[in-house]
Structure 1
Amino acid sequence: MSDKVKLIIDTDPGVDDAMAIFYAAAATDIDLLGLTTIFGNVTVEMATRNALRLVEAAGLDVPVAAGEKTPLQLPPFKPSFHVHGDEGFGDIPAVTPKGKAIDEGAVDFLCRMAREHKGELVLCPIGPLTNIAKAIQQDPAFARNVKRIVLMGGSYREGGNITPHAEANIYHDPHAAEVVFASGARVEMVGLDVTHRILCTANDFRDIAAAAPKLGGMLQDMSHFYLAFYKSVGKLDGCSLHDPAAVIACTHPHLFTAENVGITVSCDGDKSGATQTAKDGRAPTAVYTAVEAAAVKGLFLEALARLS
């Protein structure tokens, strides 16, 4: 029996999504079973195109399933082009991939894979949680079938990055996040409390490109726009390792410190998207509140150096 983590990444690529997917491609302890796409950094159509481009660039033979286009209840919103560029990959122009998404939609794919890999499948959502919430609503056994849901999103004590209270992935579909946190599934929240502690600098991207000219060079080309955004908001020392940290937590949770606490999500008002302590006795979420930042960053850089 393989010791590799059976993983599906739910993604809205996105520069840091590309970093996370390339990490998963290089990691020797991950069995990547597929990607599902979601709106967020870009539209879901662009996310699907970008996900296909990434798996083809990395030489991965994994399915890509297109996901939901809009939040559960909120109206559609403008993607984060100012953060990730007009096509999602910084200044890199769009490329039409050779492959296509599978005919099965993301929600059906997630439900099926959770049944087929019951008790083994780890989900890593690194965008809004709409696909995951709809899978929970569609299949009453889904929350029990998955082993863990390790999500990039939320903030416990750190404050928000899109409003003073909310992290972007949760903010863009708070109703879906509430469904996930209330589901009874084993949920782990890799939020801003830890991702803000792990930074990737321009020199790091340069070193990645030197070690792996093709894929590392692609990431370096993406990074220029991304790092410029961070500088524009006063963060001069690099970009936070948001999405890669969540993927690393899937295989190396011992590098993080968690507090087990029930989480609820505010769904309206100026605190919409805030992840707060629940009062209803729901199953606890493992909220990551501290991280061995140097070790996590080291794993990321080591893996990326193995890419061709």
Structure 2
Amino acid sequence: MTKLIIDTDPGVDDAMAIFYAAAAPDIELLGLTSIFGNVTVEMATRNALRLVEAAGLDIPVAAGAPTPLVLPPFTPSFHVHGDEGFGDIPAVTPKGKAIDESAADFLCRMAREHKGELVVCPIGPLTNIAHAIQQDPEFATNVKRIVLMGGSYREGGNITPHAEANIYHDPHAAEVVFASGARVEMVGLDVTHRILCTAEDFAEMAATAPKLGGMLQDMSHFYLEFYKTVGKFDGCSLHDPAAVIACTHPEWFTAENVAIQVSCEEETSGATIDATDERRPTAVYVAVEADKVKARFMEQIAKLA
């Protein structure tokens, strides 16, 4: 069992990733931490609690940072994920509340309690992870792996020509993470763009798992329409679920060990590029057995029936 914490800004594909983790028999989901990105951190916390309750999970949710390390606050990606984060689905106030610990405090504590075992999977901007690294000098060595959804090595960006959105939204935090000495694995656009989820796939999720799969299908309508506006008519990329699947099935991905640094220069801000200093290499995922990853995702979602 992989002991996992997902750092998340739910978000449609975040919901897909969290429901996958809830179903996967090889994942012990220890909690969620929320971060700004697709939505505000307040909305992300609310949405994370809603997903936990929908999936019947008894795990903590810790609220994270509201703004980037250095950059000013920005408007979340409502045009991608909808005004409340879940496409056209209206907001619902969850029954539960976030724990008293901040996301960084929770991450540091769990990394100490599960030293050498904890895998952290950030699927939003890396601000909470950077705060944990800055707060606890041992965090980077206490965690087993940081498997992040973000970045692009050869694929180009999806928010600027140079940058992937999660890295772009807090490049300074991403640079802290890549320079930390932690074992970092980058599940970026080089692989996530190769795995597509179609309208037919969402219909299958709803058929095999009417409650949670149906919830994902309801979210998907807005999300798929956004993809059409940027010229992608064959489905949405399986961004965040791919990162969670990489936590337990790295054998389905091909990685290159590359020392990565993040540009914080205005013109190329958020670009993940070859480092100019001596730092621990990142496992940069550059190829994927897309059929296996997608089949695994669909199989596990079907178990949520």
User: In the TM superposition, what whole-angstrom CA distance separates every residue of 1:203-236 from its partner, at most 9, and x where no partner exists?
Assistant: 0000000000000000000000000000011000
- 2:49 aligned with 1:47, yes or no? no
2:259 to 259, 262, 267: 262
- Tell me which residue corresponds to 1:74: 71
- 2:272 aligned with 1:281, yes or no? no
1:147 to 144, 158, 176: 144
Cα distance in 2 between the residues matched to 1:212 and 1:231: 26
Give the fraction of aligned pairs with identical amino acids, expressed as a percent.
Answer: 85
- Tell me which residue corresponds to 2:55: 58
> Aligned AA for 1:150?
V
Cα distance in 1 between the residues matched to 2:219 and 2:191: 23
Unaligned runs of 5+ in 2: none
Structure 1 runs, 4 residues or longer, greater than 3 Å off? none
- Tell me which residue corresponds to 1:298: 295
1:17 to 7, 14, 35: 14
- 2:215 aligned with 1:215, yes or no? no
Q: CA deviation at 1:112?
A: 0.2
Give SS of 2:156's match.
Answer: coil
User: In the TM superposition, what whole-angstrom CA distance separates every residue of 1:32-77 from its partner, at most 9, and x where no partner exists?
Assistant: 0000000000000000000000000000000000000000000000
- What number of residue pairs does the alignment pair up? 305
2:189 to 170, 187, 192: 192
- Tell me which residue corresponds to 2:237: 240
Q: CA deviation at 1:13?
A: 0.1
Q: CA deviation at 1:281?
A: 1.5
TM-score, with structure 1 as normaliser: 0.99
- 2:114 aligned with 1:126, yes or no? no
User: In the TM superposition, what whole-angstrom CA distance separates every residue of 1:156-214 from its partner, at most 9, and x where no partner exists?
Assistant: 00000000000000000000000000000000000000000000000000000000000
Q: Any residues of structure 2 matched to 1:150-169 within 5 Å, and which?
A: 150-169=147-166
TM-score, with structure 2 as normaliser: 1.00
Q: CA deviation at 1:279?
A: 1.8
Give SS of 2:267's match.
Answer: helix
- 2:205 aligned with 1:202, yes or no? no
2:168 to 165, 168, 171: 171
| Root mean square deviation, CA, Å | 0.3
Unaligned runs of 5+ in 1: none
- Tell me which residue corresponds to 1:225: 222
Cα distance in 2 between the residues matched to 1:57 and 1:153: 27
Cα distance in 2 between the residues matched to 1:93 and 1:276: 39
